[in-house]
Structure 1
Amino acid sequence: MIATQLRSFTWQFNENNQEFLVQGALRPQRPDELASCLQALEAAAQKAKGRLYFNVRRLVRMNNVAFRAIARKLIDTVSGRSDLSIHVTTSSVVGWATHKFSTLQEHTPKITVNEYDSEFYPGQSFLEDGGFIPILRTQTNLTWHHEKALLAKHGLREDMLVADICCGIGDFAVLIQKEYNPGRVVALDHSKSSLAYARQVASEFGIKGIDYVFGDASDMLLESDQFDFVTCRHSLQVFDKPELILKELYRICKPGGRVYITNEKNSHCLGEPRGASIQKTYDEVARLWNHFNMDIELGPKSRRYMMDAGFEDILMESFMVTNLDGDPQDFADIIQSWENVYAGQMAVRRGDTPEQIAELRQGFQDHIFAALHPKGYAGWPIWAASGRKPK
């Protein structure tokens, strides 16, 4: 991800999501003041396959000089590329952007426009199974900053046969396919709608080599001993019997292959200022999950689980995702998603009083405050572990 700043606006290209983001106030006096930004947009388009996302949902101001220059660049880009379309993402909060950019659809069907609140990738709300899907989407973008190199340390190599179990909407499988060039990726999940969405995303991005499969992670209809590398991220903690999932991960892995898992210990989330309130909320989150027979504290227990499952040569380490890994607002968006699900759905189902829910929400809001504070620090710890299946 590359970010650049010019005066009062910034631009950033996320190659993993094929998304070019412009934010701030875009008010040049002459078109040539945008030369660097337009060159970066052109370079982004050259790297993109299928669909390029042009995101202006955080662009608070833009004059006509800027709009005409950008509009011309977008139209010229799709006119010269038969294999590329552009999706402009606006926001209902900044209504003028939708009105302006929608005029581009009259020039070419290869440019589409939609507001942030509607369906688009990667920011659409796609609530399912307790709301975990939208959480995982944003999380993957930030954890990939760490896992991109970590996966190689745990044994992932080019041309391997890879399985991504409990893949959700398939974003992690796409990142593996792009970065590591495996021979084949099988991505499995129990949600048919998530898999349909994953296939759509892969098609839009021109991603080949991923087979999306419907199945139960605790009883997969996949042959034994066939995958060189098996991943299962942020998922064991959701099941009341994680040992059954690990048994299946072990079964489908080739002898000598490795299984890689990640899990959390939410009570170790931290932030300053307002650390005491933050700590209190995440201690309660651990109890909340336990009430529903889930263990969001599983992270440090991963080594024991893998040893009990029969793995050897176990590697384990932790990393801290923070508000300094990228845009602090992205970190804050994750926390807001947690609040929406944990305080907005799970706490209500547990039977918490309005006062208890308000106290729980306060810690999440204080964590957001720490993430966005100019001198603040906010962290979310994750444990990664892998083990080799004996030959």
Structure 2
Amino acid sequence: MSSHPIVYSSDHTSAVLRTHGWRTAANSAAYLVPYLKPEMTILDVGCGPGSISVDIAKLVPHGRVIGVEYTAEPLEQARAFAAKEGVTNAEFRIGDIHALEFPDNTFDVVHAHQVLQHVADPVQALREMCRVTKPGGIVAARESATPTWYPESAGLKAYWDLQTRIAQLKGGNPHPGSHIHVWAQQAGFERSQITCSAGTWCYSTPEERAYWGGTMKERTLSSAFATIALDKGLATQEELKDMAQGWQKWIEDDDGWYAILHGEIICRK
């Protein structure tokens, strides 16, 4: 295992896992899906509760998917979700993206979603992803870039400003979607090997606002976000409550709209 520090600024509380568990191949890895073939062997790095991993496993019925996460916390949920979905070609284990415990040239595809921004050395992570990918295989990554919302909200702006400060304080690289292709080049890929694209999440219906705003409100008050903010003196309890109220007002606004832009890369080895 590597000696890189853990810089993830969140945790695996129920609100965080609900956010991660909403993700599917369709809404979070559509740029990768056209490259998948039924017999492929795939590594999903930073798999969390396994929702994307299990979805991808369904698309490679004669292959297999291994999901790895730096901590065991979400992996039981991932295994339970795979069992619930009747997926038998997915497995989950602890692993470090900086030092993957697989031989060279093992996988047809190595995928990471919203992971590089949360690790100490994203370039080393991409080097490792490349190392365990077979010649002719694919390294795929998707990272958030810019969030935007309507209507204007001091509470939501304060939340994202604080979230960025916390991530930077922990040693992360928040919202790197616009330049992950540069990291890939630093990791050894030629520019001609990299295909860039962009995707979005958008929340605007009452159900979508309730889901997204509700989980973000809960995370504001009762997750590592709140603990770090208070412990480091980055925000007071009243300021966190104001941010949570900002999310609640956005949920209740019939015109509420929220979108996140993501940068995506397909890197051919």
User: What CA distance in whole angstroms lies between the structure 2 residues aligned with 1:358 and 1:172?
Assistant: 36
Equivalent residue, structure 2, for 1:293: 171
User: How far is the alpha carbon of 1:237 from its aligned partner?
Assistant: 1.0
Alignment check: 8 A CA contact 2:57 2:89 kept: yes
Alignment check: 8 A CA contact 1:189 1:195 kept: yes
Structure 2 matches for 1:130-145, cutoff 5 A? 130-132=10-12, 134=14, 135-142=16-23, 144-145=25-26
Unpaired stretches in structure 1, ≥5 consecutive residues: 1-127
User: What CA distance in whole angstroms lies between the structure 2 residues aligned with 1:232 and 1:142?
Assistant: 13
Structure 2 matches for 1:123-272, cutoff 5 A? 130-132=10-12, 134=14, 135-142=16-23, 144-147=25-28, 149-153=30-34, 155-181=35-61, 183-265=63-145, 268-272=146-150
**Would you say 1:317 and 2:206 are equivalent positions?**
no
- Which letter does structure 2 place at the counterpart of 1:332? G
Deviations 1:151-170 (A, max 9, x none): 224x2232211111121222
Greater CA drift, 144-153 or 298-307: 144-153
3-state DSSP of counterpart to 1:331: helix
**Match for 1:283 among 153, 161, 170?**
161
- Cα distance change on mapping 1:140 and 1:192 into 2, 3 Å: closer
Equivalent residue, structure 1, for 2:223: 341
3-state DSSP of counterpart to 2:31: helix
User: How far is the alpha carbon of 1:222 from its aligned partner?
Assistant: 0.6
- Cα distance change on mapping 1:269 and 1:146 into 2, 3 Å: same
User: What CA distance in whole angstroms lies between the structure 2 residues aligned with 1:284 and 1:201?
Assistant: 32
Alignment check: 8 A CA contact 2:11 2:224 kept: no
User: What CA distance in whole angstroms lies between the structure 1 residues aligned with 2:28 and 2:182?
Assistant: 22
- Cα distance change on mapping 1:146 and 1:282 into 2, 3 Å: same
Alignment check: 8 A CA contact 1:143 1:321 kept: no
- Cα distance change on mapping 1:315 and 1:151 into 2, 3 Å: same
Equivalent residue, structure 2, for 1:374: 254
Deviations 1:280-312 (A, max 9, x none): 431332122111111212221211101111224
User: What CA distance in whole angstroms lies between the structure 2 residues aligned with 1:334 and 1:383?
Assistant: 23
User: How far is the alpha carbon of 1:219 from its aligned partner?
Assistant: 1.3
Alignment check: 8 A CA contact 2:116 2:122 kept: yes
User: How far is the alpha carbon of 1:358 from its aligned partner?
Assistant: 3.2
**Structure whose alpha-carbon radius of gyration is higher:** 1
- Cα distance change on mapping 1:358 and 1:274 into 2, 3 Å: farther
TM-score normalised over the length of structure 2: 0.83
User: What CA distance in whole angstroms lies between the structure 1 residues aligned with 2:24 and 2:65?
Assistant: 20
Larger RCO (CA under 8 A, 6+ residues apart): 2
- Which letter does structure 1 place at the counterpart of 2:228? M
Identical positions, percent: 22
CA root-mean-square deviation = 2.6
Alignment check: 8 A CA contact 2:23 2:51 kept: no
User: What CA distance in whole angstroms lies between the structure 1 residues aligned with 2:69 and 2:196?
Assistant: 25
User: What CA distance in whole angstroms lies between the structure 2 residues aligned with 1:176 and 1:212?
Assistant: 13
TM-score normalised over the length of structure 1: 0.59
Alignment check: 8 A CA contact 2:203 2:209 kept: yes
Deviations 1:255-295 (A, max 9, x none): 11111112223xx3222223454334313321221111112
Alignment check: 8 A CA contact 2:114 2:143 kept: yes
**Would you say 1:329 and 2:210 are equivalent positions?**
yes
Alignment check: 8 A CA contact 2:213 2:248 kept: yes
Alignment check: 8 A CA contact 1:261 1:384 kept: yes
- Cα distance change on mapping 1:188 and 1:385 into 2, 3 Å: same
Equivalent residue, structure 1, for 2:183: 305
